[in-house]
Amino acid sequence: MKLYKCFISCILSFLFCVNGQVSDVIDNNLTTEHSLELTQSLNLARQERIQEVCNRLNLKYSLEDIPDNQLEHILIDESHRFLYCYVPKVACTNWKRILMILTGKWNDTDVLSIPAHLAHSPGMFRNLSSVPKDQRSYMLDNFQKMLIVRNPFERLLSAYRNKLEGDTPSAKYFQDRVGRRIIKAFRANPSNESLELGHDVSFREFALFLTSRADELADVVTNEHWQPITSLCHPCLIKYTLVGKYETLLEDSVLSLHSINASHVQFPRLAHTSGTSDKLHRYYSRLELPLVRKLYKLYKRDYALFHYDLDNIVGFDLG
Ligand SMILES: *[C@@H]1O[C@H](CO)[C@@H](O)[C@H](O)[C@H]1NC(C)=O
Ligand SMILES: *[C@@H]1O[C@H](CO)[C@@H](O)[C@H](O)[C@H]1NC(C)=O
Ligand SMILES: *[C@@H]1O[C@H](CO)[C@@H](O)[C@H](O)[C@H]1NC(C)=O
Ligand SMILES: *[C@@H]1O[C@H](CO)[C@@H](O)[C@H](O)[C@H]1NC(C)=O
Ligand SMILES: *[C@@H]1O[C@H](CO)[C@@H](O)[C@H](O)[C@H]1NC(C)=O
């Protein structure tokens, strides 16, 4: 087991190294058999890990027991026999854009030519919640099923920065709907401006909001942007066949497109944001350790299932 783990982490560090230093070279060869095979072996190892952790969790319920609306994150592309469970803050805009191309909602194959807001517009895709049970089982048994995951604290920080710190229209909307209520509930002497605009929620207030589970905030605490991936996609009840990670997004996306015979669509090669771990450390060090622990507890299953740890954030692993 130990040896196996080492094997996987060696492959991982290999990917990181190659990726960081000679990215042009590997880019040219990304679609070669060799790198697809390597990516597929990582994908299979991730599936095995998920299976192992799920067995240990020994859940007492099945897919039959959960309400239909808990399947609404699973988007359907029937023509490519493909299901994609989208997770906000994990490349979901680009993958929704791709889904638009695959399902014929967009003509061009240039992914970035599609306006982001269009990809997020309500009703754009069919999802599994409204599919009759027998048809749903057929899809789950026979289609490729993709999930892309990310370190939970990294995803959380990304959501905070994007929705509560930002000043885009979408951030303004969140500040108005959620920020104001967080300030009202968790700030001792808020200014009128803060109460009115909800524009300056601190990261600590955000963490308090998530961990206190106050009844009066129940409707926003379950927002998809900070819901654990486990609650959005049910990886113990649905056996995903393509498990990608944010860290290897490009390779994993190429594999997925290959698996559904859609290699004519190119996943956008965006420059990776730099300094992520610095940023993580900066924000999370503003929280006292008990609060970090409480926050970690909320995402404990995501951490275990997707094999992440807290080393790079608080300097040691809480698990
Ligand atoms: C890409 O892979 C092929 C073999 O599949 C190899 O001949 C070629 O040199 C590689 N190109 C680069 C730039 O590494
Ligand atoms: C899922 O489909 C239902 C029924 O068509 C729809 O009401 C709901 O908004 C969809 N959810 C998402 C997240 O797309
Ligand atoms: C597809 O392209 C044609 C011709 O350019 C255009 O008329 C049509 O509106 C496009 N359809 C969609 C769904 O974008
Ligand atoms: C804040 O609002 C209250 C009530 O509306 C008002 O009495 C007070 O003067 C306001 N304070 C400032 C600094 O504007
Ligand atoms: C993709 O192509 C292969 C080989 O032609 C075929 O066996 C497979 O069923 C296709 N998959 C989908 C989802 O169309």
pLDDT in tens, 165-207: 988 888 999 999 999 999 999 999 999 999 999 999 999 999 9
Ligand nearest to the CA of 30: 1
Q: Is the CB of 107 under 6 A from ligand 3?
A: yes
CA–centroid distance, residue 190 to ligand 4 (Å): 11
According to the model, what pLDDT value does residue 6 have? Answer: 44
Which tens digit of pLDDT belongs to each residue from 19-58?
333 344 445 555 566 789 999 999 999 999 999 999 999 9
Residue nearest to atom 10 of ligand 2 (CA): 72
Residue nearest to atom 4 of ligand 3 (CA): 107
Average pLDDT rounded to a whole number, residues 48-74? 95
Q: Say how far residue 193 (Cα) sits from the centre of its chain.
A: 33
According to the model, what pLDDT value does residue 257 have? Answer: 96
According to the model, what pLDDT value does residue 237 have? Answer: 97
State the pLDDT confidence band at 312, using cuts at 50, 70 and 90. Answer: low
Q: What share of the chain in percent tops pLDDT 90?
A: 76
Q: Is pLDDT at 18 greater than 50 in this prediction?
A: no
CA–centroid distance, residue 5 to ligand 1 (Å): 29
Q: Taking the CA of residue 244 as centre, how many other CA atoms within 13 Å lie in the half-sphere pointing to its CB? A: 27
Q: Is pLDDT at 269 greater than 80 in this prediction?
A: yes
Q: Is pLDDT at 215 greater than 70 in this prediction?
A: yes
According to the model, what pLDDT value does residue 15 have? Answer: 41
CA–centroid distance, residue 260 to ligand 5 (Å): 7
According to the model, what pLDDT value does residue 16 have? Answer: 39
According to the model, what pLDDT value does residue 65 have? Answer: 92
Average pLDDT rounded to a whole number, residues 235-243? 98
According to the model, what pLDDT value does residue 279 have? Answer: 87
Residue 193's H or E segment, with its range, is helix 192-197
Q: Say how far residue 80 (Cα) sits from the centre of its chain.
A: 22
Q: Is pLDDT at 243 greater than 50 in this prediction?
A: yes
Candidate of 261, 263, 264 to mutate for ligand 5, largest count of ligand atoms within 8 Å of Cβ: 261
Residue nearest to atom 3 of ligand 2 (CA): 130
Q: Say how far residue 261 (Cα) sits from the centre of its chain.
A: 24
Q: Is pLDDT at 309 greater than 80 in this prediction?
A: yes
- For residue 143, give the ligand 5 atom closest to its CA: 13
Residue nearest to atom 2 of ligand 3 (CA): 107
Helices 152-160, 276-284: inter-axial angle, 10-degree rounding: 80
Q: Is pLDDT at 9 greater than 60 in this prediction?
A: no
Candidate of 101, 103, 107 to mutate for ligand 3, largest count of ligand atoms within 8 Å of Cβ: 107
The mean predicted confidence, pLDDT, of the chain is 88
Rounded CA gap, 118 and 93, in Å?
10
Ligand nearest to the CA of 196: 4
Q: Is the CB of 58 under 6 A from ligand 3?
A: no
Give the chain's radius of gyration (CA, Å). 20
Q: How far is CA 51 from CA 57, 238, 239, 305, in A?
A: 10, 10, 8, 8
Residue nearest to atom 4 of ligand 5 (CA): 261
According to the model, what pLDDT value does residue 242 have? Answer: 98
Q: Is pLDDT at 271 greater than 70 in this prediction?
A: no
For the chain, give the longest Cα–Cα distance: 61
According to the model, what pLDDT value does residue 20 have? Answer: 36
Which tens digit of pLDDT belongs to each residue from 138-158?
999 999 999 999 999 999 999
